[in-house]
Chains A and B, each alone.
Chain A
Amino acid sequence: MQNRNKILFLLLTILIVVLFAIDMMVGSVGISVGEVWAAVTGGECDPIKAKIIIDIRLMKAIVAILAGAALSVSGLQMQTLFRNPLAGPYVLGVSSGASLGVALFILGAPLVGLSSSPILSSLGVAGAAWIGSAAVLALVATVSRHIKDIMVILILGMMIGSAVSAIVQILQYMSHEEALKGFVVWTMGSLGDVTISQLWLVALAIISGLIISIAVIKPMNLMLLGEAYARTMGLNIQRTRSLILLSTTLLAGTTTAFCGPVGFIGLAIPHLARIIFQNADHRVLLPASMLSGVISLLLCDIVSKLLTLPVNTVTALLGIPIVVWVVVRNKNIV
């Protein structure tokens, strides 16, 4: 069992290295392995190709790695917290909160004549999305302090999501063509819109979120048996819940803010990890989800570049079959 896990972890790591290399090679201009290596290590390389590799592809691949790890770990946390196999980072309203922030920024501001406001433009789409998702999660977290039943919080998250969608639709309906296009493009998701200065912020937030998720590995194992069991085995449930919500904001909130709503990775990848590793222990599942998430998003990025599709459509087409298979195969998972 232990050896099987070690081999699987090794295989996943090798796969990440291979996909990372392929991701650097493919795109509108094909670049060979040797040239990629030269550019990254500062060797002899065509300066234009070197610029493409370092400024565009390397950035995008790093974002894909961070986003893949962040989304799948937050998905695993949500599934354990809500004891629901169909929970993902978006059920809590991360996506809807981010959408609201962006909608208010792109669609709402011009409606009230604020399009040229320097405060708003410096805030940026990413900032608006971050504030939006953090606000919704803060609301859900506040409510969860007072409500003991986790299912109520789940339903609440869904209701907030629906309410926000309605508001976003009103904004869309009232908006001009140009602003509408900007918003729709954001909803399709992109791994390539992160600037160098933003990358540090994204990396810092996601790594902090991952560290918190490692700290709640044991609490999450206890929560597998349900809240009553977890508490009688010495778990501080409020603290655990707060930590998981904080971690999710940092992971899924940040990813959504900078890459748009990248769907289905958070929901599907933890199941993929369960299937591959045949394990429910978070000491195995957490790194397994993280690595599988990185692989899937690198893969999605490669496919989206080869077919020139928005990354969100690729993650959906990859994720949905996994989710359907999980639901059909096993009716009492998690």
Chain B
Amino acid sequence: MIRFENLTLGYGSRTLIDNLSTSIKAGELTALVGRNGTGKSTLLRAITGLGDRIKGNIYLAGKPIDSLTTAELAQTVAFVTTDKVRIANLRCRDVVALGRAPYTNWIGRMQVQDEEIVMHSMALVGMSDYADKTMDRMSDGECQRIMIARALAQQTPIILLDEPTAFLDMPNRYELCTLLQHLAHQEKKSILFSTHELDIALALCDSIALISPPQLHLLPTEQMVSSGHIERLFTSGIVNFNPTTRSVSIK
């Protein structure tokens, strides 16, 4: 679904990811892990078309990203950013309805079908009861779910999320990732999200994409655990990764 061909990313003279060629399958949940500043957001932005590439190509659903128009791109990839969206007087259903923008006319007129998709998207993330609430009076977890519903309303085969669990408490993190897993498997979406929650990623994701500059290793979760990449990357002076228990401990 997402295929990289000799992709090189970075900014200025700094190369973050060098000559990457791999692909992410449809209907899979993939976690993007790596230390701070190794290019997780840069990679996500490149796939959404927001960021620039140094070299190589990205294919989305078989087509090179440069051949897609802005509108086609918006019908292929949906993105959930780290931006906190808190707009007074904007109801949840209106936020989710914005996800229909690539399909609606010049003034954004919603057809009956669009309304149904909006309600269905909210139901998928378990937020139907919040349709008429405004986002300035909701918790971070609830807002994050609404932004995911908005991405679902965009009806794209690919959904990218930049650290969706960052502001959430422990139960909410697991619930959110379980939701993402469900959406990937049931709705057959390719979902790629960056995260620092290694334990959640290993427990719930089908594949792990691990950035070990300037390489990116993409492996099914089981293989990633046994590959030794995680130990190499995350073991520092004070912490240790144990592949058998899949947990991090302090030395």
* A176 adjacent to chain B (CB < 8 Å): no
Query: In the bound complex, what is the Cα–Cα distance between A280 and B49 (angstroms)?
Result: 28
| Closest chain A residue, CB of each to CB of B132 | A1
Contact A232 B78 (CB under 8 A): yes
* B112 adjacent to chain A (CB < 8 Å): no
Cβ-defined partner of A233 (8 Å) among B87, B136, B154: B154
Query: What 1/0 flags go to A245-287 for Cβ under 8 Å of B?
Result: 0000000000000000000000000000010001111010000
Query: In the bound complex, what is the Cα–Cα distance between A333 and B87 (angstroms)?
Result: 6
- Number of A interface residues at 8 Å Cβ cutoff, please give it: 26
* A51 adjacent to chain B (CB < 8 Å): no
**A-side binding surface: helix, strand, loop or mixed?**
loop
Contact A278 B89 (CB under 8 A): yes
Contact A334 B87 (CB under 8 A): yes
Query: In the bound complex, what is the Cα–Cα distance between A49 and B90 (angstroms)?
Result: 50
Q: Given known contacts A332-B136, A333-B88, is B99 in contact with A233 (CB within 8 Å)?
A: yes
| Closest chain B residue, CB of each to CB of A334 | B87
Q: Given known contacts A225-B95, A228-B50, A283-B108, is B89 in contact with A233 (CB within 8 Å)?
A: no
Contact A234 B70 (CB under 8 A): yes
Cβ-defined partner of A232 (8 Å) among B74, B86, B90: B74
Residues of chain B with a CB closer than 8 A to A5's CB: none
Contact A280 B83 (CB under 8 A): no
- In the assembled complex, how far is the CB of residue B42 from the closest CB belonging to chain A, in whole angstroms? 13
Residues of chain B with a CB closer than 8 A to A332's CB: 86, 88, 136
Contact B73 A234 (CB under 8 A): yes
Residues of chain A with a CB closer than 8 A to B102's CB: 233-234
Contact B104 A218 (CB under 8 A): yes
Contact A218 B87 (CB under 8 A): no
Query: What 1/0 flags go to A294-307 for Cβ under 8 Å of B?
Result: 00000000000000
Cβ-defined partner of A330 (8 Å) among B49, B73, B88: B88
Query: In the bound complex, what is the Cα–Cα distance between A221 and B89 (angstroms)?
Result: 13
Most buried by B among A217, A226, A280, A333: A280
Contact A224 B48 (CB under 8 A): no
Query: What 1/0 flags go to B85-119 for Cβ under 8 Å of A?
Result: 11111100011001101101011100000000000
Residues of chain B with a CB closer than 8 A to A222's CB: 98, 101
Query: What 1/0 flags go to B62-92 for Cβ under 8 Å of A?
Result: 0000000011011101110101011111100
Query: In the bound complex, what is the Cα–Cα distance between A330 and B247 (angstroms)?
Result: 44
Query: What 1/0 flags go to B41-72 for Cβ under 8 Å of A?
Result: 00000001110000000000000000000110
- In the assembled complex, how far is the CB of residue B71 from the closest CB belonging to chain A, in whole angstroms? 5
| Closest chain A residue, CB of each to CB of B162 | A228
| Closest chain B residue, CB of each to CB of A229 | B81
* A140 adjacent to chain B (CB < 8 Å): no
* A308 adjacent to chain B (CB < 8 Å): no
For residues 313 through 334 of chain A, which have their beta carbon under 8 Å from a beta carbon of chain B? Answer: 330, 332-334
Query: In the bound complex, what is the Cα–Cα distance between A221 and B106 (angstroms)?
Result: 12
Q: Given known contacts A218-B104, A334-B88, is B48 in contact with A232 (CB within 8 Å)?
A: yes
Q: List residues of B whose CB falls within 8 A of some A CB.
A: 48-50, 70-71, 73-75, 77-79, 81, 83, 85-90, 94-95, 98-99, 101-102, 104, 106-108, 136, 154
20 residue pairs from A and B, CB less than 8 Å apart:
A215-B106, A217-B107, A218-B101, A218-B104, A225-B83, A225-B98, A226-B83, A229-B79, A231-B48, A232-B78, A233-B99, A234-B75, A234-B101, A234-B102, A236-B70, A274-B89, A279-B89, A281-B90, A283-B107, A334-B88
